[in-house]
């Protein structure tokens, strides 16, 4: 839910904080980057210290980070808060999967439980746009973070009352060097990809250096864990075809789907002119279909097999994305059906979870959960980084060659440079359209009638939040 709320809140946040395109990507990506980097070491700690303890501590960290948004007034502060949310998420996500495997020992029950787990993610995605849109209609973008606090509080109470402690004995000492190698390798890998997406030749040398560090560090990590009798991460799990197929499906699907959802949410608001809550409503079909298909996937797999369900779901998602890409022009009516196909493919990933967790022994449940979440988060991070960077470069190139940009550059060079960074920043600078002024007037004018828009002297741009009543 937190991620889909952020997708809805990002345009409003960009208009107020004016982040660069690089900062915008970091706001989205830093959570996944930190989460992916910490999943393996945190899962190893949870096996030794206690999975329930780690889960509850993760809730506390997540809630505390969400509260810090009250003092955030810059893109850097938001990035830092998102990083801390990633720390809390790394404590929560793999632990939920390992605890499911401990509670449900029967394979059929476990498959159903994992499907419910996946459907809960889909329902969270449904709630995110709706709740986020409602909050942004009535409050500032800070509310998109603060909504986490009561939800995490309820989760913590439920976990404390309902779950029993679980840990694995005989694991040996915690391998601190492997934990550092995992953190450094994953961080430098994603950072290098971000640098390659920049429109600057100066970024090439640091990016190649970081990529080389990532390759060496991750190779060292893999070698060390393969040779260890008590590895931090059991790489030998990949010998199972069932496990490997689930990991590949998780990575490849989230690579394309996460970026697609982010870009569609921004397209609805910035190009189609939808308000945040309207964009949330328009995104409902994809996540509703995803939640329903998650619950239906185990039943269908008993008839035609898990491999057919997983491959078929990914095929449907691919067809949906191809249909959107082949359209000469996009409209809301034309993208609904393809997005539903994408949602069906997302739901099929519930079978991927069953393959991953079912293909590993119970004592390796934390390792399997960490690898699954790493595949999800790393796939999403790579997708947003690569496809987000490409979209930013395409937008920047298109805007730079336009007559509007040339005029703006002559009159306000500093604003022209901000507008070139991202579509969100450009929309924050541009004079609002008549429909946008009408919507903002209804939202902010105390009398809910007409407003007279003025240029804010401080930033020389149209002010989206200060309209003066004609009375």
Model confidence pLDDT, tens digit, residues 2-18: 777 777 787 778 778 88
CB–CB of 266/11 below 8 Å?
A: yes
CB–CB of 99/55 below 8 Å?
A: yes
> What is the distance between the alpha carbons of residues 258 and 121, in angstroms, rounded to a whole number?
13
> What is the distance between the alpha carbons of residues 398 and 380, in angstroms, rounded to a whole number?
26
> What is the distance between the alpha carbons of residues 435 and 440, in angstroms, rounded to a whole number?
9
> What is the distance between the alpha carbons of residues 353 and 116, in angstroms, rounded to a whole number?
11
pLDDT at 60 over 90: yes
pLDDT digits (tens, 9 = 90+) for 186-224: 878 877 776 765 544 545 778 888 889 999 999 999 999
pLDDT digits (tens, 9 = 90+) for 429-440: 776 554 444 444
> What is the distance between the alpha carbons of residues 439 and 448, in angstroms, rounded to a whole number?
10
Query: What is the rounded average pLDDT of the residues 420-437?
Result: 63
Residue with tokens 């404390």: 160
> What is the distance between the alpha carbons of residues 9 and 141, in angstroms, rounded to a whole number?
6
> What is the distance between the alpha carbons of residues 368 and 234, in angstroms, rounded to a whole number?
9
Of 188 and 181, the one with more pLDDT: 181
- All structural domains of the chain: 2-174+232-398 (1.20.1250.20), 435-471 (no CATH)
CB–CB of 192/215 below 8 Å?
A: no
Query: What is the rounded average pLDDT of the residues 240-246?
Result: 81
Query: What is the rounded average pLDDT of the residues 367-380?
Result: 77
Q: Of the candidates 268, 272, 265, which has an alpha carbon nearest to the alpha carbon of residue 433?
A: 272
CB–CB of 165/50 below 8 Å?
A: yes
Query: What is the rounded average pLDDT of the residues 61-82?
Result: 90
Query: What is the rounded average pLDDT of the residues 63-71?
Result: 90
Question: pTM of the predicted model, to two decimals?
Answer: 0.70
Kind and range of the H or E run holding 40: helix 21-49
**129-147 exposure pattern, b = at least 16 Cβ within 10 A, e = fewer:** bbbbbbbbeeeebbbbbbb
pLDDT value at residue 466: 40
CB–CB of 72/418 below 8 Å?
A: no
pLDDT value at residue 416: 78
Q: Of the candidates 381, 388, 339, which has an alpha carbon nearest to the alpha carbon of residue 255?
A: 381
Tokens linked to 461: 């741009």
Of 201 and 396, the one with more pLDDT: 396
Tokens linked to 467: 């309209």
pLDDT digits (tens, 9 = 90+) for 74-104: 888 899 999 999 999 889 888 888 888 778 8
Of 139 and 449, the one with more pLDDT: 139
Q: Which of 164-178, 294-308, 435-449 has the lowest mean pLDDT?
A: 435-449
Q: Of the candidates 40, 43, 72, which has an alpha carbon nearest to the alpha carbon of residue 55?
A: 43
pLDDT at 281 over 70: yes
pLDDT at 378 over 80: no
Out of 145-149, 271-275, 346-350, the most confident range is: 145-149
pLDDT value at residue 201: 52
Q: What percentage of the chain exceeds 90 in pLDDT?
A: 10
CB–CB of 187/33 below 8 Å?
A: yes
Out of 103-112, 231-240, 245-254, 314-323, the most confident range is: 314-323
Out of 44-48, 254-258, 292-296, 371-375, the most confident range is: 44-48
pLDDT value at residue 438: 45
Strands 451-452 and 468-469: antiparallel
Phi, psi dihedral angles at 458 (to 5 degrees) = -65, -40
Of 239 and 91, the one with more pLDDT: 91
pLDDT value at residue 311: 84
Q: What is the DSSP string of 354-409?
A: HHHHHTS-GGGHHHHHHHHHHHHHHHHHHHHHHHHHHHHHHHHHHHHTSHHHHHHH
CB–CB of 389/33 below 8 Å?
A: no
DSSP letter at 268 equals: I
Q: Of the candidates 69, 51, 48, 59, which has an alpha carbon nearest to the alpha carbon of residue 89?
A: 59
> What is the distance between the alpha carbons of residues 154 and 386, in angstroms, rounded to a whole number?
36
pLDDT value at residue 156: 92
Tokens linked to 417: 């440079």
Mean pLDDT for the chain overall: 77
């Amino acid at each position: 839910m937190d991620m889909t709320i952020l997708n809805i809140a990002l345009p409003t946040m960009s208009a107020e904080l004016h982040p660069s395109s690089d900062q915008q990507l970091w706001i989205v990506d830093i959570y996944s980057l930190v989460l992916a980097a910490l999943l393996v070491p945190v899962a190893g700690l949870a096996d030794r210290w206690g999975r329930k303890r780690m889960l509850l501590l993760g809730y506390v960290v997540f809630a505390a980070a969400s509260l810090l948004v009250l003092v955030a007034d810059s893109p850097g502060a938001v990035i830092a808060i998102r990083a801390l949310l990633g720390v809390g998420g790394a404590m929560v996500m793999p632990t939920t999967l390992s605890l499911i495997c401990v509670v449900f020992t029967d394979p059929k029950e476990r498959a159903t439980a994992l499907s419910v787990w996946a459907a809960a993610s889909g329902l969270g995605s449904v709630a995110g746009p709706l709740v986020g849109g409602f909050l942004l209609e009535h409050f500032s973008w800070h509310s998109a973070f603060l909504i986490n606090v009561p939800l995490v509080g309820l989760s913590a109470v439920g976990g404390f009352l309902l779950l029993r402690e679980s840990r694995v004995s005989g694991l040996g000492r915690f391998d601190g060097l492997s934990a550092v190698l995992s953190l450094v390798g994953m961080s430098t890998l994603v950072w290098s990809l971000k640098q390659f997406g920049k429109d600057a030749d100066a970024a090439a040398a640091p990016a190649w250096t970081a990529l080389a560090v990532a390759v060496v560090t991750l190779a060292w990590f893999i070698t060390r864990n393969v040779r260890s009798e008590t590895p931090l991460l059991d790489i030998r799990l990949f010998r199972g075809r069932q496990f490997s197929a689930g990991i590949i499906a998780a990575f490849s699907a989230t690579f394309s789907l996460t970026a697609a959802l982010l870009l569609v949410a921004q397209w609805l608001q910035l190009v189609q002119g939808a308000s945040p809550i309207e964009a949330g409503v328009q995104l409902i079909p994809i996540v509703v279909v995803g939640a329903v298909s998650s619950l239906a996937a185990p039943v269908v797999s008993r008839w035609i097999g898990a491999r057919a369900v997983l491959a078929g779901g990914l095929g449907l998602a691919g067809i949906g994305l191809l249909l959107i890409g082949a359209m000469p022009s996009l409209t809301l009516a034309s993208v609904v059906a393809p997005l539903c196909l994408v949602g069906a493919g997302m739901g099929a990933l519930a079978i991927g979870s069953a393959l991953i967790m079912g293909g590993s022994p119970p004592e390796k449940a934390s390792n399997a959960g960490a690898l699954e979440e790493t595949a999800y988060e790393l796939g999403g991070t790579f997708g947003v980084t690569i496809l987000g960077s490409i979209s930013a470069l395409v937008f920047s190139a298109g805007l730079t060659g336009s007559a509007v940009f040339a005029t703006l550059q002559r009159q306000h060079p500093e604003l022209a440079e901000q507008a070139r960074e991202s579509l969100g920043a450009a929309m924050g600078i541009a004079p609002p359209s008549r429909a946008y002024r009408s919507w903002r007037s209804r939202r902010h004018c105390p009398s809910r009638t007409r407003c007279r828009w003025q240029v804010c002297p401080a930033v020389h741009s149209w002010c989206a939040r200060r309209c003066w009543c004609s009375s």
